[in-house]
Structure formats: structure tokens, C-alpha cells
Structure 1
Amino acid sequence: MSRDRAVPVEGASPRIPPPPYIGQEAPSESKFCPLAAVNKWPYKFFHNPDSETIAQAFFAAGKFRTRGWTLYYIHTLLSNASKPLILVPATEVQDLFDDIKRELRLLVYFPKAEKEPGFLLSFKEEGIPRPRYLGRLDLDHSLDEMEARIPPYTDSDNGEHRADDRSFAAFKKKMEAAIEATKQKSKNQRDRKKKERIGTKQAWCEQLKRAQCYLGVRPRSVPNMPNPMEDPSISPRELERAMKRYHSSKGVELPDLEVSEPAPFAFQDHVVFVCVDVEAYEKDHRPITEIGISTLDTHDLLGLPPGEYGKTWTKKIRSRHFRIKETAHLHNSEYVAGCADNFEPEFGVSEWISFKEAPQIIASCFRPPYSHPLGHTNSDAPVETDTPKRQLILVGHDIKMDIDYLQKLGYNVANLSNLIEALDTAELYRAWKHHQNPSKLGSILMEMEMIGWNLHNAGNDAAYTLQALLGIVIASRQSSLATTQSQIARRTEVLEREARDRAKEEAHEWAVADVEGGDGGPPKPLTRIGWPTSDQPYQRRTNATQSSKTINSSDRSSGKMASEMHAQSQTTKKIEAKQLQSPEAEIKSEPWIADDEEAGSFAQSITEKLAFLEEGEEAEGGGGVKLPVVKGETAVKW
């Protein structure tokens, strides 16, 4: 006899699965993302202004919490982790990406696993802990309050694994990657950025040393010179002299530079320095108004002492100032104190040219007699007309911008076959002073006891930039080693003093706190220090929780946000019930993890109240690209 089958009753409502309870284990096929990593995602993987656009639209001012997030927790079992890791389902993160794609026309995706292995997590392995349900994070519940609900860790949370299992070792490695993903920058990113910073600083310092070689104050290294220490036949007395020669050839030990005597070494390649400065209209930047070109021929410096900060050599600088006829009516005064009419008389006289004439006239300044005008009497430098092609060094202050302006005028300096390289005085100054941030030309001149009259005149700026080049080269050669050692000594002294002060302060605090005698006073009930009692195991609330609730209540003053949250709360139970059944059910395919693109971004420190503050750092990893919009639709070309 067969059993009677249940027959559905017409009109009966379908059975609704019970809502999940705190601590209920998620299905093994679920995927999750660390909540803190999702918080930092737009700032970690995007350029500005895209990062700011995403943050303002979906993260700032409580918008991130307004979405409502289903929280899970997992005990990481790591000795350096003070609390469980909070996770959110990958389905909800994918929904966020879809909303960003639809509203902002940005193609966003999960970071590549090779760059951020802890962002997208799965727990399919047998015998390892799995995330457990915690609740819904929204405007009515703070993160502190949600974390206070987490049951204490028990051995049953481990599953059936043992500490020596391979699966358990893989689980701990996964947890370490997840915690690393919650940090503003991962260890790999920090290491890469550190190498990049060191490489940039090294390039600046090498540029300064080459400039010293061009001006004869540093020798070029002698290639393949044998190390005397490797010669067993050399006597101790000869070894000392040989080592001095060897170190001098390598530029390690150099004699003191006497600025009252000619350059001690040969001028490398006997170059001609050509400095360019271009001024554009401040409100457009496309119309070019002035061109300044100054040159310094190292042939004119032979046998001539440089003087302090190279001021004797500065007299050999030749300068020209060109004004464009077509833009003569444009004057800078609002953002830049323009002074196109004030080309310093000691440098020469301004010349009017047209856009059509500009490329040819600029080209003439890169050939003999360079920027020395015919008939100009303010300089005693000889005018050379028939000479072999000379090696050229382009000079500028933030030179890349001036190169771009020359290209707009129709002259590309990169086409010069005798152009060796470009020197940037902004970078040379940073190498000399060990400064990270650039300095203005006027500030650099003041550092070397020079006055730059009527700056932002292209002719004056070109001349003063060459003067700054000479001053930096001479001063850095005089003080490079001594300055470095003194800086190290000063910094070490400051750090030691701060460490001593901190140690004294801490010792004083402990002396005040740990008084002699006493019995510790009466016992402190658990409820007084915020611990759960036996009848209220998971209802702990600290002062921080209470203050968080007070802060959150102010956010609900917005009528629109309150209405959104009311609608959200009506569906919370259904979402919770559905989540435990299949957190991944709504993902129709695996989350798309695209190849990461090199992208700079501002590092962002994100508090639990989602008050985002920008910083100046870049990162690499997942992110997004701008999508073209065609008639209101998103057009993606693969």
C-alpha cells in the first residue's frame, strides 16, 4: 500500500523558509568579499576623478550603508587578528558594480586575483571553516553593534580539520590575503611603490651627477679600471695612492671644489645648454604668447672660475625673448602676474615674431650662433658661424610642458640628432636638497642668494633657469656628501630624542597607574565593562556602540533617506531568508575578473562612519574603464 501524497491546497500560500539565525553556516558554494576591502575599492583601484565620482554616488554620506549589506563573519584563527573578519556576499558586490556601470557608464570589475588574492573568497574546500550569518548592516544598525553580536569562538567552529592539515594551512593563507586586502595598500603594492619611488629619486640623483660632469665639476668614470685591492703585487704605500685614484675615477672620493679656480675636470662632450620657456594664455593655455630661449656654451667657460653658485659663469648666458604678434592682445594677470613687456635689459631686447615665423626662428637658436642675436653687444662671447655640429643639452623648469608647447608651434626638439638629453632644474633641485615635492623657480633662486626679476616673462625665466642650473650644480658639488651626512645625523638625533621622550612618558604613565600597595578594589561586574552576561550572550553594547547609534540617528534626518530605509526594511526578512538558501543564485555567471590596467589612484583612509579623506598615493589592480555613451546607451567594444 502506497503512502498518500500531499496535495497542495488551492489558495494556500507557499512555504517560506525560516530566516537565518546568527551563526548559521553559509553554503560551501558561496563566495564573499571582505567588507572593509569593498569600502576601499573605489579609492584603491581608480584614477581621480573616477574614484571621487564613484565615492560621491555610492559610498559617501551614508550611501554605502543605505544599500543594506548582508554580513557574514569568520574566525580567521590567526594569532595577529584581534577580531573576526566581516564578509559580504559577492552577489551583492556584483550588484553594486552593475549599478555603477548603469548609472556612471563605468565598466567595473573584481580585482585580478594575482594582484589582490583576498578580495574574492571561496570556501569550497572540505574541512575548513566557512562564513557564518551575522545580519543586515543598514542605517539602523552600526558595524560596532553588528560585531557585538558575533558569538565567541569555539572549537566546533573549526569544522573537522586539524591544525596540521594542508587544507587548514591553505585556509590561514586565504585569511592572511583577505586581511591584507582590507588595508589601503597591499604589501606587494607598497613594495612596488617603494621601488618606484627609489627609482625616481635615483634618476634625479643620476641626472644631477651628469650635469656636474657636463660642467667639469665631476669626472666621468673610467671604464674597466682595475681595482688595486685585487693586485697582490702592489705595496701598501702604493695601494693607498692607487685606491685614491680608483675612488676618484668612480666619483666616490672627489677633491673639494674651489669656486675661485677653473673647473677641475674636462667638460664632458663640450656641450651647449639650450634652455626654453614658453608662456601661454592663463585662461585657455592653447594660445602661446611668449617664447624665451637662453644658451650657455661650455667653450665660453674654459679657464673661467665658476664663482659662488656659478655667478661668474652666468655672465656667459645668451638670451632672447620672442613675443607672438597674433596673441599680443592676451595678457596674464588673474592667475599669473604676467609681465611680457618687462624683459630684463641685461638679457636683451624683446623681438616680435608671427606664428608662421616661430618654427624657423626657434630652430635657429639650436644652431650657431645659438641664441646670441647678431649685433647684440651685451655679451662679450664670440659669435660662431662656421663650426662643427655641437652636442646639445635641453634645459627647462618642468621641461615636459615646454616641449609640448614647442610641438604646438611646429617645432619638435626630439628630431634633433645632436640633442643628448634634457635636464629639468626642478628635478635637479630635489636631488640636491633631497626634497620630494617640486619647488618654484623663484624659491630656488632665493636659496642660492639670487633674485629673479619679473618672473613669468618667458625670456627672463629661460635666463634664470640656466642660472639656477649652474647654481645647483656648483652648490651640490660643494655640499653633497657633507649635506647628506649632516642630514642623516640630524634626523637620527631627532628620532633618538623622540624615542627617549616617548619612553619617559610611558614610564611616567605606568608609575602613576601602578601605585604601590592596595588590593585592586572590589570586583567589577561583567556588565560594567561591556561583556555579555549569561542571559544576554550576544547583546553587548559598548560606549562606542551607543555613540555610534547617536551619530547614526542624525543621518536619518533626511526624509528621502528615511523613506528609502523604510522600503528597505520591508524586504529585509525576505532577503535574509533567501540569502542562506543560495547566496550565489543571482549570479548568472562567475564574477568577471578582467586583466588589470595600470592605474593611479588616491589612497583613502576610510573610517567606519564612511567619512572618506583623500591622500596622494597610487595603486595597481582591478578597477574600471570609461565606457562610451551612444544615444544614451552604453556601447562596449570587446
Structure 2
Amino acid sequence: MSAADRLQILFAQDQAILQINTRLRPVVEHSEPPAAEHASKPLSESSVSRLNQPQIHVVEDKRTPAVAFQGPNATPSPHDGTFCPFSAVSRFPYHHIRGDLMHRVASKYFDKGQFWDRTWDLYYIRAPPRLGGRPLVLVPTEQVRLLFREINTALDCSLSLPVEEEKGLMLRFNRDGFPQPTFLGKSNSKETKDSLESTIRQACTFKPSSGIMDESFMAFEKMMEAAIAAAKSKSKSKAKKQRLRIQRELEASDAARRAQCYLGLRADPTDLIEGKWDEHQTADPHPPRLAVDKPVPHPFWTEPVFVSVDVEVNERCHTLVTEVGISTLDTRDLIGVAPGPQGEGWQSRIRSRHLRVEEYANHVNRLYVRGCPDKFEFGVSEWVSADEVSSTVQSSFAHPTFFDGDEKKLRPLVLVGHSLISDIQYLELAGVHIVEKSSGASNFADRIDTATTFQVIRGETAARSLGAVLGELGMTGWNLHNAGNDARYTMQALVAMLVKHSIPSSGMSQ
């Protein structure tokens, strides 16, 4: 029984209700062709299929009145026979772009539904029975390329659609023996797309005709398999991502405890079992408490040297390193020194350098951050050429006081940074190798990331910026995004958060 029949039964006693114009079905005037023309032209198979599909009528979209929703009777734009899986394109920046560009593209064109609010010609094709027979919604490749051209022009980038068939993003139906996508209609919103998709018949009608050669069908099946894989939301990776997140949190927690041991805020990690902390061991039921006005109660484990780094690059070309900041803190300089309430007694022992690259002396970042390369707060900036960056930075890791005994054995170095992985990558671009390529050995005994350390200490779900961490610690960072200042503030933040975390009444999470 159709919807019209049900309405007739419900309201047969009140014809006035049936005559009310709800304005949900716009009145469209059609010019009727002569009856003879109807008789002379039998309906084609595609016409019958189209007539059997339910007609969708919605109120015109007030946001874009010139591009109101049109159902299957709309006229599609010309295309070249190539299509893209619609859902795969909707997630393109999250799966195929990395770094800062991903955030820029996503925020401007995808995050808030902007992607769906464009005008798209929607088609669908059914997958072969082996792949489930479900319909896959497609859009013409040329319309996707048009979006990419707009993005490239607006954001000065060079996005392109992968053409390799195994990527499943560009599907070539313009081949002999391939079934052709069926036009659904035009869409300019997520709601319209969902409505159109709901009109696709659920029964699988795809059957290879006798005209399709085995080779063609196998090629079509292979192409569809790649397309379906590209269109998946990759929800299966959520469990893997969660495991990785938990692993990172555990590693950050262990790193924070090791850092406390390095600074004498915690006993030597003799409770380490196969590299893991054993919280249930209670060798000392009454461990000494930290008094910030007195030297720390424990020895400085391994007496390392902390080396904090920060790198600034050209915001338009990340391969060009423009500044390097280096701050060091030798734990031997802290022996017998009280840390102070925020570790101020130790912070004063930090030594800082700021290197500027001569070739980029006139460059100042302004687009995404407010650069200030000429405002180093902790000394005088040093000029080096691009060819000298690597040797100058490497030599700062090998200060004479960092060696022990007649054999000149290098003492343990602990690398510190805020969102450290990006600084390591930029150092590699400048020829500074944190890990030796030949041996795979690291020049540093340990690494501490202040972003994840603070996140774990506070029990927060996301890492904060350096400026936000300083604010939470009651500190002020002047002229941030100067590499020398950022390296110094990162070291100060590490000292402050560890000292504060070691005081039970500090209010920071234990």
C-alpha cells in the first residue's frame, strides 16, 4: 500500500485536510507532449527504472537557493567516465595529507561540513557479489579536481588526486565491458546526499552480462575492491590507535619518573623490572619528602646533562631551518642547591644559546605564528651559515664539562623538547643527527617531551602548547616562537613541573 493510499484511508472523512498545500511538494508545470509522440516512443529500460524509483521532494535550500536539491530527474553535468568514491573524498585530508597543511585544508574545507555544501552530481554503482553487492556512491572526478584547484589556489599548495588504481580514489569506468554508474541526482548538503542514497534499491541487481569478458569483470572487481577499501572509515584502526595512545601515555609517565630520578626528586629506579615501574614495591615505606628550601633528598641518578632544543623553520618551506635554540642544565651544577618553590634555584643554572642562520636573516614568520628572531631574552644571538648549523649544534652537545675522566667519556645526555618529535625532524633537515645513521645508536641516553610529560602529570586528554603550560605553572614566556627563548622556557617548564609534581600539597596530579 502506497503512502497516498494510507493517507486516503486516514483522512477519507475529511477531504479538506487532503486539499491542504503543505508546501513540501513544489508545483512544477510540465508541457505535455502530443499523445502521438507518447505512442511512437516506447519507454527505454533506463526510463522504466527511473520511473519506478521514488521521487524525492524537499523544501528549497535557503542557504544556496540557486543550487536547490534536485532528484534523479535532474540533468547531470558532463563527465569523462571517471569517478571517485564520495565518502573517501570526504575524508581525503585526514587520510592523505600530513602536518600543518592537513589542519589548514580540513578547517577551511571539511571540518564544519563545507565539503557537503558544494554542488555534487551523485552516482552509484553496485559492488560485485563477492564484495557484498552494496551500492557505492560516486562523484565525477572532474568535480573533485575542481575542489582541489580551489584549495590549491586559496592555500598555495599542490594537492592532487592519486591516479593509481590500487589507491581506489579514481575509478575508470570508461573501459569496454565495464558496468556504468547510475545517476542519483544533484546534492548540496549532507541531508540531501543521505536522502538520495536512501532511494537506492536494496536488492542487488548487478549481474555480469554475457557481453562482459572474464578479464573485464576481473578488472572491474579489482577496481571496486580498491574503491571500497578507500571508502571505509578505517574504524578498525580505532582500537590500534587507542593502544598506541595508552602506550604513549605509559611511556610519558615512565619518562616523567626517570626525570625525577635524574633530578634527585625520586629515589634511584631500583624498582624497575624489565623496564617497567612496579608501583607495589614499598622498599621505603617512609621516603623523605621534598623541601624546596633544602637540597633534594636523593642523589642525582647517573648525573646527566639535560639538553633542550627548539627549531624554527620557514613557515612556507619547512625544509629551511632559520633558528636553533639550545639550553643546557648540568645536574652536577645542582648538587647542594635548593630547587626553590618553582625550581627557580635550579632554573638560574640553565645556560642558553640562540643560533640564527645568516642566509635567512630577513625572514620572519607571520602567517601562522608571530616570529621574533631578533628578540632573544637570555643573551646575544649568534650568526651561523646554513652549512655551519650542523657542526655548531653538534659541538654544543660535546661541551668539555660534559666529559668524565682521562678517557674523556661523554656523560649521559637527556634530550628535552616541547613536542620533541617535530624538532628532531627539523634538526635532521639541518644535518644534525640525533640517531647515528650508520650504527642506529642515539647520541642521547634519554628523551623527555614536556608536552606529554605535563599532560600525563595533569591527567589531561590533550597536550598543551608551551605558552599554555607556562601559564598553568604561573610563569610568563616573553617573545615565544624565538627558538632560543622557547628552548630556555622548555627547560624551565620541565624543572618547574617536576618540582611542583614532587610536592604532595602542590595540587598537581600524582
Aligned equivalents of 1:284 and 1:111: distance in 2?
28
2:122 maps to what in 1?
67
Change in 2 beyond 3 A, CA 1:326/1:427: same
Q: Is the contact between residue 432 and residue 480 of structure 1 (CA under 8 Å) also seen in structure 2?
A: no
Q: What secondary structure does 2:474 align onto? A: coil
Change in 2 beyond 3 A, CA 1:393/1:99: same
Aligned equivalents of 1:457 and 1:59: distance in 2?
37
How do 1:350-429 residues align onto structure 2 when only pairs under 5 Å count? Answer: 350-369=381-400, 387-415=408-436, 418-429=443-454
| TM-score of the superposed pair, with normalisation by structure 1 | 0.46
Amino acid at match of 1:270: E
1:106 maps to what in 2?
162
Q: 2:343 matched to 1:310?
A: yes
Q: Is the contact between residue 417 and residue 450 of structure 2 (CA under 8 Å) also seen in structure 1?
A: yes
Q: Following TM superposition, by how much is the alpha carbon of 1:314 offset from its aligned partner in structure 2, in angstroms?
A: 0.9
Considering Cα pairs closer than 8 Å and 6+ residues apart, tell me whether 1 or 2 has the greater RCO: 1
Q: 2:210 matched to 1:210?
A: no
Q: Following TM superposition, by how much is the alpha carbon of 1:464 offset from its aligned partner in structure 2, in angstroms?
A: 1.7
Change in 2 beyond 3 A, CA 1:298/1:196: same
Q: What secondary structure does 1:312 align onto? A: helix
Amino acid at match of 1:319: S
Q: Is the contact between residue 397 and residue 441 of structure 1 (CA under 8 Å) also seen in structure 2?
A: yes
Which of 211, 222, 241 in structure 2 is aligned with 1:193?
A: 241
Change in 2 beyond 3 A, CA 1:40/1:142: closer
How do 1:512-531 residues align onto structure 2 when only pairs under 5 Å count? Answer: none
Q: What secondary structure does 1:246 align onto? A: coil
1:301 maps to what in 2?
334
Which of 330, 345, 352 in structure 2 is aligned with 1:319?
A: 352
1:451 maps to what in 2?
476
Which of 229, 249, 268 in structure 1 is aligned with 2:301?
A: 268
What's the CA shift string for 1:299-350, capped at 9, x where partnerless?
A: 1112222111211111211122333333333344565444434333xx4333
Q: What secondary structure does 2:409 align onto? A: coil
Q: Which runs of 5+ in 1 are unaligned?
A: 1-11, 24-37, 73-86, 113-134, 152-156, 158-180, 226-242, 372-381, 486-638
Q: What secondary structure does 1:293 align onto? A: strand
Q: Is the contact between residue 434 and residue 443 of structure 2 (CA under 8 Å) also seen in structure 1?
A: no
Q: What secondary structure does 1:419 align onto? A: coil
1:348 maps to what in 2?
379
Q: What secondary structure does 2:282 align onto? A: helix
What's the CA shift string for 1:515-552, capped at 9, x where partnerless?
A: xxxxxxxxxxxxxxxxxxxxxxxxxxxxxxxxxxxxxx
Q: Does 96-105 or 329-338 show the bigger shift?
A: 96-105
Q: What secondary structure does 1:320 align onto? A: strand
Q: Is the contact between residue 273 and residue 395 of structure 1 (CA under 8 Å) also seen in structure 2?
A: yes
Aligned equivalents of 2:477 and 2:348: distance in 1?
15
Change in 2 beyond 3 A, CA 1:106/1:290: closer
Q: Following TM superposition, by how much is the alpha carbon of 1:276 offset from its aligned partner in structure 2, in angstroms?
A: 1.7
Change in 2 beyond 3 A, CA 1:254/1:357: same
Q: Following TM superposition, by how much is the alpha carbon of 1:63 offset from its aligned partner in structure 2, in angstroms?
A: 4.8
Aligned equivalents of 1:281 and 1:289: distance in 2?
6
Change in 2 beyond 3 A, CA 1:465/1:70: closer
Aligned equivalents of 1:55 and 1:482: distance in 2?
40
Which of 275, 278, 282 in structure 2 is aligned with 1:247?
A: 282
What's the CA shift string for 1:462-490, capped at 9, x where partnerless?
A: 222111110121122335996448xxxxx
Q: Is the contact between residue 451 and residue 464 of structure 2 (CA under 8 Å) also seen in structure 1?
A: yes
Q: Which runs of 5+ in 2 are unaligned?
A: 1-39, 54-84, 128-132, 149-159, 169-182, 204-228
Q: Following TM superposition, by how much is the alpha carbon of 1:248 offset from its aligned partner in structure 2, in angstroms?
A: 5.0
Change in 2 beyond 3 A, CA 1:387/1:55: closer
How do 1:109-258 residues align onto structure 2 when only pairs under 5 Å count? Answer: 188-219=236-267, 220-222=269-271, 246-248=281-283, 256-258=289-291
Q: Is the contact between residue 368 and residue 387 of structure 1 (CA under 8 Å) also seen in structure 2?
A: no
Change in 2 beyond 3 A, CA 1:62/1:421: same
Which of 500, 504, 507 in structure 2 is aligned with 1:475?
A: 500
What's the CA shift string for 1:426-445, capped at 9, x where partnerless?
A: 22221222233332323222
Aligned equivalents of 2:194 and 2:314: distance in 1?
54
Change in 2 beyond 3 A, CA 1:204/1:63: same
What's the CA shift string for 1:545-572, capped at 9, x where partnerless?
A: xxxxxxxxxxxxxxxxxxxxxxxxxxxx
How do 1:283-302 residues align onto structure 2 when only pairs under 5 Å count? Answer: 283-302=316-335
Q: Is the contact between residue 305 and residue 313 of structure 1 (CA under 8 Å) also seen in structure 2?
A: yes
How do 1:320-335 residues align onto structure 2 when only pairs under 5 Å count? Answer: 320-332=353-365, 335=368
Q: Is the contact between residue 292 and residue 462 of structure 1 (CA under 8 Å) also seen in structure 2?
A: yes
Q: Is the contact between residue 187 and residue 193 of structure 2 (CA under 8 Å) also seen in structure 1?
A: no
Aligned equivalents of 2:393 and 2:412: distance in 1?
17
2:171 maps to what in 1?
none
Change in 2 beyond 3 A, CA 1:190/1:298: same
Aligned equivalents of 1:400 and 1:244: distance in 2?
29
Aligned equivalents of 1:214 and 1:244: distance in 2?
19
Q: Following TM superposition, by how much is the alpha carbon of 1:277 offset from its aligned partner in structure 2, in angstroms?
A: 2.2
Q: What secondary structure does 1:413 align onto? A: coil
Aligned equivalents of 2:395 and 2:348: distance in 1?
22
Aligned equivalents of 2:462 and 2:279: distance in 1?
36
2:459 maps to what in 1?
434
Q: Following TM superposition, by how much is the alpha carbon of 1:293 offset from its aligned partner in structure 2, in angstroms?
A: 1.6
Q: What secondary structure does 2:253 align onto? A: helix
Q: Following TM superposition, by how much is the alpha carbon of 1:447 offset from its aligned partner in structure 2, in angstroms?
A: 2.0
Aligned equivalents of 1:269 and 1:284: distance in 2?
40
Amino acid at match of 2:116: A
Amino acid at match of 1:343: F
Change in 2 beyond 3 A, CA 1:412/1:370: farther
User: Over aligned residues, Cα RMSD in angstroms?
Assistant: 5.4
What's the CA shift string for 1:65-112, capped at 9, x where partnerless?
A: x3355899xxxxxxxxxxxxxx8546x76x978997999753477999
Aligned equivalents of 2:345 and 2:86: distance in 1?
59
Change in 2 beyond 3 A, CA 1:89/1:429: closer
Q: Following TM superposition, by how much is the alpha carbon of 1:187 offset from its aligned partner in structure 2, in angstroms?
A: 6.2
Change in 2 beyond 3 A, CA 1:111/1:268: same
| TM-score of the superposed pair, with normalisation by structure 2 | 0.56
Aligned equivalents of 2:317 and 2:484: distance in 1?
21
Amino acid at match of 1:246: Q
Q: Following TM superposition, by how much is the alpha carbon of 1:387 offset from its aligned partner in structure 2, in angstroms?
A: 4.9
Change in 2 beyond 3 A, CA 1:383/1:16: closer
Between the two proteins, what is the percent identity of the paired residues? 32
